[in-house]
Amino acid sequence: MIWTQIRGGWPFSQLDDAVVEQTWREALSALLPEDASDAVKGELRNSERLPSIAAIRKAANEAARDRRLAQESEHLKLDAAMAEIPEEFRGGWRTVKQTLAEEGR
């Protein structure tokens, strides 16, 4: 799929050669698919020229780091203790019916 994105993103590049395709596939094979896809999409937005394999690998590593940081951030949010309720808001809760009854309505 990544190869399809690369060829589709830069259709006028010399990517139709079997040796070039094999080189790119091997160079990018170690990347997680979602990181590689994010990297290619980012490079497409930032450049009209075909990036190097190194540029895509660097962008994929940055995408992986960003994804990891986002997951850690979500994890921290879920594990954070809730703030204590201020004293003036504790207890004394009444329903609307109870409040109206006290006011004589």
Whether 58 has a pLDDT exceeding 90, the answer reads yes
Share of the chain above pLDDT 70, in %: 86
Residue at 8: amino acid letter: G
Q: What is the pLDDT of residues 3-55, one digit of tens each?
A: 788 888 887 777 788 888 888 888 888 889 899 889 888 888 888 888 888 99
Global pTM value: 0.62
| Residue 89 to residues 33, 86, 93, 98, 101, Cα–Cα distance (Å) | 50, 6, 9, 18, 21
Give the C-alpha separation, 43 to 59, whole Å.
8
In tens, the pLDDT along 66-98 reads 888 888 776 666 555 667 777 777 777 777 888
Are 41 and 62 in contact by the 8 Å Cβ rule? The answer is: no
